[in-house]
Amino acid sequence: MASRGKSETEKLKQNLEEQLDRLVQQLQDLEECREDLDEDEYEETKNETLEQLKEFSKTLEHMVQGDMTLVDELNSMQLAIRAAISEAFKTPEVIRMFAKKQPGQLRQRLAEMERDAKVGKLPPDVYTQQKMEVLMALRKLGDQLKPEEANFLTTNSNAALSQFEKVSEDMGAGDKLLQVAGSQVAAAEK
């Protein structure tokens, strides 16, 4: 009892991060194996994974309401889950780095993408989408964007990323985020 719940809180946080990693890895594996699956199998597996993310989000909601020591850590996970569900972010790797608050790795990913785009290894539309995701994640993590990066975000912003930006700015408490995520999930199910 000497830890006053700190070790338990850390263990819970670690378990939640591992579960989020597993679900995001499932999405990444699914995208990598898309060509090997028929369309129905792909859609079914993707929907199952998104359903698991929704259930995970509900669990986080209950925890946020009852355990205030985890609010900050859970909010970053909720943003990552919301991004995955709303499909504002389509790159599981970016979702994972954002959830783990890894701006250095996001910067490295951005440099790799720019290199790949220059040599023609990354199509322009994929490059634009992924660069938008990385820059949005960096900005949300408090990383200072260069003027040309901020301009790129403004020029190429789409509705899904704008919605993600608005919600995360307005997110004084986790319940606002969860309400919007819930409405996004409900809209996606219709």
Q: What is the pLDDT of residues 102-161, one digit of tens each?
A: 888 989 989 999 999 999 998 988 888 888 888 888 888 888 999 999 898 888 876 545
CA distance 158 to 88: 9
Taking residues 84-112, what's their average pLDDT?
75
The per-residue DSSP string of 98-153 comes to HHTT-HHHHHHHHHHHHHHHHTTSS-HHHHHHHHHHHHHHHHHTTPPPPHHHHHHH
CA distance 96 to 119: 26
Q: Share the mean pLDDT of the chain.
A: 74
> What percent of the chain is predicted at pLDDT more than 70?
63
Task: Examine the pLDDT at 177 and tell me if it is beyond 70.
Answer: no
CA distance 73 to 153: 26
- State residue 147's pLDDT score: 92
CA distance 155 to 143: 19
**Token pair recorded at residue 100:** 């783990």
Weakest mean pLDDT among 30-34, 79-83, 143-147, 177-181: 177-181
Weakest mean pLDDT among 19-33, 73-87, 100-114: 73-87
- State residue 19's pLDDT score: 86
CA distance 96 to 92: 6
- State residue 111's pLDDT score: 93
CA distance 139 to 134: 9
Helix, strand or coil, per DSSP, at residue 51? helix
CA distance 134 to 92: 11
Higher pLDDT among residues 119 and 76, named by residue: 119
